[in-house]
Amino acid sequence: MTDVTVSLTLPGDLVEQAEAAGIVVENLTADFIALVEQRIARRNALANFEALTAQIDALPDEMKPTEEEIIATVREVRRERAARKKTAS
């Protein structure tokens, strides 16, 4: 993989506001990388969600989960994630 150098032109007002807030815009490389990583994760999550919904749509009606079953599953996954976060902390 090849590294890429990115050059940004920021509006002067934005730079002034950042400096007034104690932010050195020249030191935001890590923040920019984190933003790109977040956007990649969101796009991947959306693609996975769209694939899942397509799979559900392809099921015969009698096999499709109800809205209540989907909500219950989402809540269970959220509980499991929260429990893992507590364990990891």
Residue 89 has a pLDDT of 79
Q: Two tokens at 3?
A: 């590294």
Inform me whether the pLDDT recorded for 17 exceeds 90: yes
Structure tokens at 57: 């749509």
Tokens describing residue 34? 């984190």
The whole-angstrom separation of Cα 83 and Cα 21 is 37
Are the C-beta atoms of residues 25 and 18 closer than 8 Å to each other? yes
**Amino acid (one-letter) located at 76:** E
Task: Give dist(CA 38, CA 27) in Å, integer.
Answer: 19
| The pTM of the whole model exceeds 0.75 | no
pLDDT at 16 over 90: yes
